[in-house]
Amino acid sequence: MAGGGGVTSGSGKNYPGKFTSKVFFTCIVAASGGLIFGYDLGISGGVTSMDSFLEKFFPKVYRKEISVKPSDDQYCKFDSQTLTLFTSSLYLAALLSSMTASRITRGLGRRMTMMLGGLFFAIGAVINGFAENVLMLIIGRVLLGFGIGFANQSVPIYLSEIAPFKYRGAMNIMFQLSITIGILIANLLNYFTAKIEGGWGWRLSLGGAVVPGLVFFFGCFFLTDSPNSLLERNKFEEAKVQLQKIRGIDNVEEEFNDLAKASEAAKLVQNPWREILTRKYRPQLIFAVLIPLFQQLTGMNVFVFYAPVLFKSMGFGNSASLMSALITSVVNFFATLVSIATVDKYGRRTLFLEGGLQMLLCQFVMTVSIASKFGTSGNPGELPLWFSMLVVIAMCVYIAGFAWSWGPLGWLVPSEIFPLEIRSAAQSITVAVNMIFTFCIAQVFTTMLCNLKFGLFIFFAVCVVGMSIFIYKFLPETKGVPIEEMTTVWKNHPRWSKYFVQKDLSCEMGKL
């Protein structure tokens, strides 16, 4: 592995150490937690567009779908709250479980939380694979949701804690890369299972989730906890040995002392949930809420969940719809690699802003083209090839923009900006907000499409403008800053420095 050497960070710290193969493999195994999230994100859209699945569990939607003629309003043919409840029940469960997970990550460590995540997910997958009625489907999905809540709460912070600060961005984005792999595998599987004779292919798609669940669960046996988490639980010796191993050197004094200091400060905090509401954490709290909210308001999940449904609504055939969904997930995967290669070089702010601009341009193209063909009646007539190509290309460029900006940074930035004492609680807030809005998008999308028609894309475009301005004005750059030194970037930011004045004064008084 390449040697990292000593690097001076944005905060002036210089920790020696190498980029070891141990840290690399640890990050890969932990990041596989993203597989379960991605698999689920990718599988439900395809399954809910399979006729045999609809006929068995949602016969009303099925009858409506087959009775829609090409001349009817295509925007509204999938509008059913029960169907969307199937997709979105999981996100509600994930939201609740991420709150519990914060206690477990703090008390029992990141690793234990990750293991539980894998286990819940695998059990949920089995129940879904054998489902005979809607209740079984929902119970299965709730368990999957618990799995995802636990994993998303613990994996991003674990990765940010383990990685050498110089490579923290790239290592953390392995989580997002796994999400995109999960989505890709799910779409690929759907493409084939949809063709299985006898209409039981959906069982394979839903039950197949057991594989990523078990991969993640068993992978965790090969991990040790992060030094930060070990210190948090008073395991000093073990923390030091672990730090020496992952940094590949014996002399880890400086970094270890800083981690130990951060951990001592963290122990003074009895109740992180109350603490996070105090004024001194206001800047971080604002980002814990807004980053995941904005990530969802980019509109990306409309494509992730409903690409097949969306393409079908636009008159593409069954197989063409799943195929287009497959293409978009390949783009999602490759574009995430770009983010890995650039995030620690150009920084988080540059990627956020470039990605935002790119998404905006594509939303504009999609709005104009869909409006010109479908109008407000939703009846497109014959769709020419150039039209389909244009929509698919615009969608791919949009997805690439998301995949190297808001996708990975939506998980990376929250996981690195919080001090240890509130890190677990704050990450739970991030996961919860992410899940609430993933739920909202999943739940209201088909209704929004039915009512807003092509205006749906205008809605998301306006959101993208707002969030880009917010990032430009308020997000401090966090690249190259050691995780336990992060408070300095807030203190030095013109907009946020005032929140730290009080703290400094009290420190001064303490010294007196």
| Beta carbon of residue 416, minimum distance to ligand BGC (angstroms, whole number) | 15
| Beta carbon of residue 300, minimum distance to ligand BGC (angstroms, whole number) | 5
Residue 179 binding ligand BGC, by CB under 6 A: yes
Residue placing its CB nearer to ligand BGC in the complex, 223 or 307: 307
Residue placing its CB nearer to ligand BGC in the complex, 88 or 438: 438
Spell out the alpha helix ranges (H) of 48-109.
51-57, 59-67, 81-107
**468-477: long-range pairs with CB below 8 Å, 24+:** 468/352, 468/353, 468/356, 468/357, 468/360, 470/290, 470/294, 471/349, 471/352, 471/353, 471/356, 472/349, 472/353, 474/286, 475/287, 475/348, 475/349, 475/352, 475/413, 477/10, 477/347, 477/348, 477/349
Near ligand BGC in 273-332, by CB under 6 A: 295, 300-301, 304, 332
| Beta carbon of residue 159, minimum distance to ligand BGC (angstroms, whole number) | 14
Site string for ligand BGC, 37-66 (x = CB under 6 A): ----x-------------------------
Site string for ligand BGC, 432-471 (x = CB under 6 A): --x---x---------------------------------
224 CB neighbour count, 10 Å cutoff: 18
| Beta carbon of residue 471, minimum distance to ligand BGC (angstroms, whole number) | 16
Bridge partners of 8, per DSSP, are: 14
Residue placing its CB nearer to ligand BGC in the complex, 176 or 263: 176
**CB 499, CB 280: distance < 8 Å:** yes
Residue 389 tokens, joined: 């190509």
Q: What is the DSSP string of 216-264?
A: HHHHGGG----HHHHHHTT-HHHHHHHHHHHHTSS--HHHHHHHHHHHH
Residue 176 binding ligand BGC, by CB under 6 A: yes
| Beta carbon of residue 151, minimum distance to ligand BGC (angstroms, whole number) | 12
Residue placing its CB nearer to ligand BGC in the complex, 396 or 420: 396
Near ligand BGC in 332-391, by CB under 6 A: 332
**490-499: long-range pairs with CB below 8 Å, 24+:** 490/283, 490/284, 490/417, 493/283, 496/283, 499/279, 499/280, 499/282, 499/283
Residue placing its CB nearer to ligand BGC in the complex, 229 or 329: 329
Q: Distance between CA 63 and CA 449 in Å, rounded?
A: 20
Alpha carbon separation from 100 to 45, 143, 154, 433 (Å, rounded): 28, 14, 11, 15
Site string for ligand BGC, 239-278 (x = CB under 6 A): ----------------------------------------
Residue placing its CB nearer to ligand BGC in the complex, 42 or 380: 42
With contacts defined by CB under 6 A, name the span among 75-83, 178-186, 214-222, 458-466 that binds ligand BGC.
178-186
Residue 410 binding ligand BGC, by CB under 6 A: yes
Which stretch of DSSP H or E encloses residue 7?
A: strand 7-8
Residue placing its CB nearer to ligand BGC in the complex, 88 or 263: 88
Contacting positions for ligand BGC (CB under 6 A): 41, 176, 179-180, 183, 295, 300-301, 304, 332, 407, 410-411, 434, 438
